[in-house]
């Protein structure tokens, strides 16, 4: 009886060792996409009133966990019964990411905010409209990036048993959410930490200098992450297209892969933005005519 119990414990320990090894391999393979995920979500989680930053981030984190709970079982099931569907969903998600990235670029060059817009947006944010829209957008983007993370993690353990696949993908998905949003939380609270250090040190000495550095650095970090996040959207989408569409995989063989992915992602994104803009204008004109 005792020997049987210890045999079960030994099997569980062996399984956990295997999961630890496979999770380490899968996490290493998803490191690039996790970096993109961090940049994109840090950019999306900033720009709120100070009192709303952590509640908004918590709402996005909960949405991210729900995304993983939806994606992991679906990905594992499709991999067994209908693997081609995973590729289709990846490409559709890539189009959405490309659209988001290209839309940001178009807005920056052709629809830059005029003075006074910030005040209007802050008033809207108090009503919760802008906040809800940003949370929804962040969770939607997280859903697409989560699909990519889960698929890459799953691809690293396809030769293992189903139990190992389930545990490994689940561990990577959980680590991705905790790791990414934990770092984002640290970033968005940089200024508050800086102010507290200044107050604690009575604005004197090393702690005061560090506090001022954190406060002054936050706008630069946010701007940097905004740029990196936009580039990440384009690169992730381009990578999805290049690795899942045979024709695009072999096109432009003489240029660096990262440049090819960016060009293809941007091209698809601009086409998507153009189609969306035309469709939106047609819908608006049609609505106006009916009225």
- How does pLDDT run across 134-167, given as a tens digit for each residue? 888 888 888 887 887 888 787 777 777 778 888 8
Answer whether residue 74 is part of any domain: yes
pLDDT for the residue numbered 286: 65
Q: How far is CA 269 from CA 38, 98, 134, in A?
A: 21, 4, 20
- Is the confidence at residue 268, as pLDDT, over 90? yes
Q: How far is CA 261 from CA 97, 236, 251, 271, in A?
A: 13, 8, 11, 15
pLDDT for the residue numbered 118: 45
pTM: 0.67
Answer whether residue 243 is part of any domain: no
pLDDT for the residue numbered 125: 47
- Is the confidence at residue 281, as pLDDT, over 70? yes
Answer whether residue 283 is part of any domain: no
Answer whether residue 191 is part of any domain: yes
* 289 or 73: which leads in pLDDT: 73
Answer whether residue 242 is part of any domain: no
Residue 175 lies in domain: 21-230
Chain segment 101-112, per-residue pLDDT in tens: 898 888 888 766
Where would I find the H helices in the chain? 2-29, 31-44, 53-81, 84-110, 117-127, 129-155, 162-188, 190-200, 205-244, 246-250, 257-290
Under 8 Å between Cβ of 29 and 152: yes
* 187 or 289: which leads in pLDDT: 187
Task: Give 120's pLDDT tier (boundaries 50, 70, 90).
Answer: very low
pLDDT for the residue numbered 164: 82
Domain total of the chain? 1
* 73 or 80: which leads in pLDDT: 73
Provide CB contacts within 8 A for 111, sequence distance 6+. none
Q: What does the alpha-carbon distance between residue 197 and residue 194 come to, in Å, rounded to a whole number?
A: 5
- Is the confidence at residue 53, as pLDDT, over 60? yes
pLDDT for the residue numbered 244: 81
Under 8 Å between Cβ of 126 and 269: no
Answer whether residue 271 is part of any domain: no
> Residues 72-75: contacts with CB within 8 Å, 24+ apart?
72/150, 72/166, 72/169, 72/170, 72/173, 75/147, 75/150, 75/151, 75/154, 75/169
- Is the confidence at residue 61, as pLDDT, over 80? yes
- Is the confidence at residue 289, as pLDDT, over 70? no
Determine the distance from the C-alpha atom of residue 159 to the mean position of all C-alpha atoms in its chain, rounded to a whole number.
Answer: 28
Answer whether residue 262 is part of any domain: no
Answer whether residue 127 is part of any domain: yes
């Amino acid at each position: 009886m005792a020997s049987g119990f210890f045999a079960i414990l030994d099997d569980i320990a062996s399984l956990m060792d295997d999961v630890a090894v496979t999770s380490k391999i899968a996490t290493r393979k998803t490191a690039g996409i996790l970096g993109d995920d961090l940049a994109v979500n840090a950019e999306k989680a900033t720009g709120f009133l100070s009192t709303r930053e952590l509640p908004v981030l918590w709402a996005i984190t909960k949405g991210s966990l729900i995304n993983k709970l939806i994606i992991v079982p679906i990905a594992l099931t499709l991999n067994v019964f209908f693997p081609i569907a995973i590729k289709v969903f990846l490409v559709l998600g890539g189009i959405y990411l490309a659209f988001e990235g290209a839309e940001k670029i178009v807005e920056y060059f052709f629809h830059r905010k005029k003075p006074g817009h910030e005040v209007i947006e802050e008033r809207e944010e108090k009503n919760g409209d802008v906040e809800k829209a940003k949370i929804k957008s962040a969770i939607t983007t997280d859903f697409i990036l989560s699909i990519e993370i889960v698929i890459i993690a799953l691809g690293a353990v396809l030769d293992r048993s189903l139990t190992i696949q389930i545990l490994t993908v689940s561990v990577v998905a959980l680590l991705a959410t905790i790791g990414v949003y934990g770092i984002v939380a640290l970033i968005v609270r940089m200024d508050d930490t800086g102010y507290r250090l200044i107050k604690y040190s009575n604005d004197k000495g090393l702690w005061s200098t560090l506090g001022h550095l954190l406060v002054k650095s936050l706008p630069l970090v946010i701007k940097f992450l905004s740029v990196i996040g936009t580039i990440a959207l384009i690169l992730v989408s381009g990578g999805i297209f290049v690795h899942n569409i045979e024709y695009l995989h072999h096109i432009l063989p003489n240029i660096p892969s990262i440049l090819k992915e960016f060009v293809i992602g941007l091209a698809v994104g601009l086409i998507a933005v153009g189609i969306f803009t035309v469709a939106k204008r047609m819908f608006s004109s049609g609505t106006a005519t009916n009225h």
